[in-house]
Amino acid sequence: MNFKTLLLGSAAAFMVIGSGAKAADLTAAEPVDYVKVCDAFGTGYWYIPGTDTCIKLSGFAQFDWNFYDSDFSDILNSGKDGTTNDARTRTELDVTVKSNTDYGTLTGYMAIRANVGFGEKADIAENVVLDTGYLELGPFLAGWVASTYDYGGGWNIDGNDYDADAHENLVRLSWAMNGWSFWLAAEEPYSRWDSNTDGTMPDVVAAIAANAGWADFKLSLGVTDLADGWTDQAGNDQGNGGTAWGVQLATTIKMDWLASGDLLLLKWSHAEDAYAFTTGGSQVGYFTNQGAGTYDSFNVALKHYWTSNLYTAAAFNYLSAPVNDLWEATVNLAWSPAKNFWAIVEYEHFDSGDTAVSAGDPANRGDTDLFKVEFQRLFGG
């Protein structure tokens, strides 16, 4: 064996040894869990690594600036006297977690919202709140969500002031079949009624809805137990309390024959003593908690697309209450120069009635006008 043969043999041996070492290293390496798309529950979900649970993240970032006359400061009666504008920055993170079980889909959801602005005069409001949170298994749901009674208030920036729009802690059962949906809920009463409930029973709310393709419909009924001797915002005794109730009928009609995406919303609600079944709560609607009696609200809203990224929404909302009749009208223009980004300008005329209904409230507040600007960036679908 000559030197050349020995050298080549040694090199081959080292190559075999090195290859074996590399192979051993590869077999000993830890497996990598890659994030995988989950298409079982729609778009935007992925599997939490190492589990069969799917998660989705979404939310928005939003900026609002409101301009108004000094009468609006008086109407708010909240330390804003003399102020004629204010701004707010708001962000929200929504987390949805889903998995399949023998009893149906198991869902957990939370929407965490942070706000800076729209505080008292010389005081910037800062807060982080749970906007919505619930758990759901098949037909059963429990958590902090929009009341089963609610329907929605249209497409203006701040929603409809004369609308039963409230979040509640509740437990709910739901059923759906052949385009029909049914709900039955027990709702904790204090969020809606503050101290005007004696707490002897939860609010009982039932609703039925139908989807006909060209329109959807919802009928809601709510019953509550008002406290004995409850008082209105002016401090007036409102009698012996007892059972109060409200009913609401609403529809949204598709108007694609006018333009693709056009919608018309119509809503009527009636309440006996149960003011919050027309105004959402004792402090909602700028002093519309006016005591025992009959409340009726009427809401109409139209959304019209000029192009696929430019629309106008107009709304008229009216409340007939024991002390005052109140109304508001809004119109806006919304433009999306980029996907998931919207810029909105809006004008609102607000009539708060002519009679004082709160201690220290001006007797004749008259009309007021507001101009609003909003920028919003959505993410996650």
pLDDT in tens, 290-311: 567 888 999 999 999 999 999 9
Residue 49 lies in a domain: no
In which element (H, E) is residue 279 found? helix 276-279
Residue 35 lies in a domain: no
Per-residue pLDDT 10s for the chain (381 aa) are 554 444 445 444 434 445 554 444 555 555 556 679 999 999 999 999 889 999 999 999 999 998 877 655 555 444 455 567 888 899 999 999 999 999 999 999 999 999 998 655 445 567 899 999 999 999 999 999 999 999 987 899 887 777 888 889 999 999 999 889 999 999 998 777 765 666 678 999 999 999 999 999 999 999 988 765 555 555 566 555 678 899 999 999 999 999 999 999 999 999 988 888 887 654 444 444 456 788 899 999 999 999 999 999 999 999 888 777 888 899 999 999 999 999 999 999 887 665 554 444 444 455 778 899 999 999 986
pLDDT of 93: 97
> Helix %, strand %, coil % for the chain, to 5?
10, 55, 35
Specify whether the CB–CB gap between 279 and 163 falls below 8 A: yes
pLDDT of 368: 79
Residue 38 lies in a domain: no
Specify whether the CB–CB gap between 194 and 231 falls below 8 A: no
What are the Cα distances from residue 259, in Å, to 256, 304, 326, 333, 340? 5, 7, 32, 16, 21
Beta-carbon neighbour count of residue 340 at 10 Å? 12
Q: Which domain holds residue 196?
A: 54-379
Chain center to CA of 191: 15
Q: Which residues contact 354 (CB under 8 A, 6 or more apart)?
A: 324, 363, 364, 365, 366
pLDDT of 194: 65
pLDDT, tens only, 41-82: 999 999 998 899 999 999 999 999 988 776 555 554 444 555
pLDDT, tens only, 123-162: 556 789 999 999 999 999 999 999 999 998 789 988 777 7
Domain tally, the chain: 1
Residue 26 lies in a domain: no
Residue 214 lies in a domain: yes
Residue 45 lies in a domain: no
- Residue 16: exposure state from Cβ atoms within 10 A (0-12, 13-18, ≥19): exposed
Tell me the whole-structure pTM to 2 decimals.
Answer: 0.82
What are the Cα distances from residue 100, in Å, to 38, 58, 92, 337? 12, 21, 27, 39
The token pair at 231 is 């008082």
CATH of the domain at 199: 2.40.160.10
Residue 16 lies in a domain: no
pLDDT of 238: 59
Beta-carbon neighbour count of residue 367 at 10 Å? 13
pLDDT of 196: 60
C-alpha neighbours within 13 Å on the C-beta side of residue 329: 2
pLDDT of 24: 47
Q: Which residues contact 65 (CB under 8 A, 6 or more apart)?
A: 85, 86, 87, 88, 372, 373, 374
DSSP secondary structure string, 233-257? TT--B-TT-EEEEEEEEEEEEE-TT
Chain center to CA of 85: 25
Residue 47 lies in a domain: no
Which residues pair with residue 374 across a beta bridge?
64, 344
pLDDT of 282: 45
pLDDT of 362: 46
